[in-house]
Amino acid sequence: MRRLLLALPFALLPPAVAQANEHQHAHADEHAEHGSLDAHEHGAARLNVVLDGQALELQLESPAMNLAGFEHAANSAADKAKVAAVRNQLQDPQALFGLSAGDCTLSEAELESALFADDEHAHDGQHADEDESEHSEIHAHYQLDCKKPSELKQLNLGELFKRFPATEKIQVQLIGPNGQQGVELTPANASLNF
């Protein structure tokens, strides 16, 4: 399923998104090397969702600025506390994505970012390009097992927008029981039916 999820953005990329280049950084090529589809755009994030039988997989990619309020290495106590708070909030996908139905339990969660590597004292140079360019991203990947997947009727990102107000829009690519969808969600329009 992970291969399916990683291929999802290419299969569903709407032409409007492919043409939209509202805000590009000079380091877009560097991000392309790391698997990012679009240029690093503050305020914008991407979410890929696959519901296949009882398995629900979500992959969120966002500039760290949207979630932490900064992209540089967390040096101060306040920055380190903010990174820890962001990490803690990202460990609750049911709340962030409005998954109260379907009797879903989290089976796996992976959070990746240069900010988290610094937080864990595990900085080994892997993310040096992100630190130098100060264009850090946060990637969250979740796998959930849903005992009643037919009860999952929608994603609601209202809580994610509330907790991370610098996130202005999320490009969602979804494969579910009703086929494929690609839509842009905002705080004013934060839900998408499966």
Give the number of other CB atoms < 10 A from CB of residue 185.
22
- Over the stretch 49-66, which tens digit does the pLDDT of each residue have? 999 999 999 999 999 999
CA angle 63, 77, 170 (to 5 degrees): 15
Whole-number pLDDT of residue 191 = 95
Burial of 104: CB neighbours in 10 Å, binned 0-12, 13-18, 19+: buried
Residue written as token pair 């966002």? 62
Compute the radius of gyration of the chain from its Cα atoms.
Answer: 16
Q: Is 146 helix (H, G, I), strand (E, B) or coil?
A: strand
Residue of 51, 59, 191, 57 lying closest to 137 (CA atoms): 59
- Over the stretch 160-194, which tens digit does the pLDDT of each residue have? 999 999 999 999 999 998 899 999 999 999 999 98
Give the number of other CB atoms < 10 A from CB of residue 165.
10
Whole-number pLDDT of residue 117 = 78
Whole-number pLDDT of residue 135 = 73
118 confidence band (pLDDT: 50, 70, 90)? low
What gap in Å lies between CA 78 and CA 194, rounded to an integer? 39
Give the number of other CB atoms < 10 A from CB of residue 43.
15
- Over the stretch 67-114, which tens digit does the pLDDT of each residue have? 999 988 899 999 999 999 999 999 999 999 999 899 999 999 999 999
Tell me the whole-structure pTM to 2 decimals. 0.75
